[in-house]
Amino acid sequence: MLEIRQLRYVQAVGEELHFGRAAARLHIAQPALSRQIQRIEQQTGAALFVRTQRKVELTAAGALMLERSRSILRELEQLEQDVRRAGKGELGRLTIGFIHSSTYGLLPRTLQRFRDLYPDVELELREMSIADQATALARDDIDVGLTRPARYAPGIETLSIMEEAFVVAVPAYHPLASSASTPLARLSNEPFILFPRASSPLFNASILRMCETAGFTPQAIQTATQVHTVVGLVSAGMGVAIVPVTAKNMQVSGVAFLRIQENPPPVSVVLAWRTSRETPSLRAFRAIAFKVGEEFMATQARTRRGGDVC
């Protein structure tokens, strides 16, 4: 089989058309070069160069080999560089699962920053439920999920990147709308828009638990899966709701958000991935998402103080 060295030598001689100069360019002595070329010619049975004393010329086979050698050498160089970049996570492909609500906060900012830093990593985005992400991770359908804490199969690792407090959403005309905060008990007789237990078990359970702690059971007048829908229903005056604070980022008017005085436990946004599928790109994505999460929480802590009518 031909060796890379031989291609390099053919290229040098083919371009210089002079064994001495070609050898100098290759940082080897001329006899070594002569012998290598001879060896190729012997291996292939094809004369590559016509050495008339005083000048060297390419044969047809030589010209063919010169051209193709150039191309292979280029590819090889590109390969080495790409492997190097892939090793640093600058090259590759990342399939990201995400829950719908993350598009109102973390995800766009994370993607933007990631694309800036790693423009040659191909990103594939898939909106999927928390449960779907769990199975997709287990089946290796996605590389990483931007999701919520849940029961994941063994071998799936998670990292919490943001804690979202819950807030109360009330219609703008509601008596509470001008307050910055409220105790939960104040809502005991309000009609509630809740998350359905089946499709949003985490939110459903968290909210029921905090109301229970406050001493009442919320009166469900309606349920909706998407945070966006819930807030929409509130704005339509159907009732009040307890939603994660990112809901403020949605462009929905006619809704006021109030801090909950009991400070119930927040809900996390987590990254989830298979430990065994940890790639450099994934590591990079994780680091960026984590950073963005931190910044995001800092921002929200600041804005929380002001009045919150959108």
The amino acid present at 211, given as its one-letter code, is: C
> Is the CB of 52 or the CB of 251 nearer to a second copy?
52
> Is the CB of 87 or the CB of 108 nearer to a second copy?
87
The separation between the first and the last C-alpha atoms of the chain, rounded to the nearest angstrom, is: 72
- Minimum CB distance to a second copy, residue 73 (Å): 8
- Minimum CB distance to a second copy, residue 47 (Å): 7
Applying CB under 7 A, the span of 51-59, 114-122, 276-284, 292-300 interacting with DNA comes to: 51-59
Residue 59, contacted partner among DNA, a second copy, none, CB below 5-8 A by kind: a second copy
Query: How far lies 114's CA from each of 104, 121, 123, 166, in Å?
Result: 17, 9, 10, 28
Query: How far lies 103's CA from each of 80, 111, 161, 199, 281, in Å?
Result: 37, 10, 15, 18, 21
Residue 28, contacted partner among a second copy, DNA, none, CB below 5-8 A by kind: DNA
The answer to whether residue 209 forms part of the interface with DNA (CB under 7 A) is no
**DSSP-assigned beta bridge partners for residue 145:** 97, 272
Query: How far lies 291's CA from each of 33, 51, 109, 247, 298, in Å?
Result: 55, 65, 10, 20, 11
In a 10 Å sphere around its CB, with 0-12 CB exposed, 13-18 middle and 19+ buried, how is residue 306 labelled? exposed
The residue count for binding DNA (CB under 7 A) is: 22
Contact 259, 164 (CB under 8 A): no
The answer to whether residue 140 forms part of the interface with a second copy (CB under 8 A) is no
The answer to whether residue 120 forms part of the interface with a second copy (CB under 8 A) is no
Residue 69, contacted partner among DNA, a second copy, none, CB below 5-8 A by kind: a second copy
Cα 247 to Cα 261: distance, rounded to the nearest angstrom: 18
The answer to whether residue 35 forms part of the interface with a second copy (CB under 8 A) is no
The token pair at 168 is: 């109360």
Which residues have a Cβ under 8 Å from the Cβ of 243 and sit 6 or more positions away? 166, 167, 169, 227, 230, 231
> Is the CB of 31 or the CB of 183 nearer to DNA?
31
The answer to whether residue 95 forms part of the interface with a second copy (CB under 8 A) is no
> Contact residues for a second copy (CB under 8 A)?
1-5, 43-48, 50, 52, 57, 59-61, 64-65, 68-69, 71-72, 75-77, 79-80, 82-84, 86-88, 91-93, 276, 279-281
> Contact residues for DNA (CB under 7 A)?
3, 5, 18-20, 27-32, 34-39, 51, 53-56
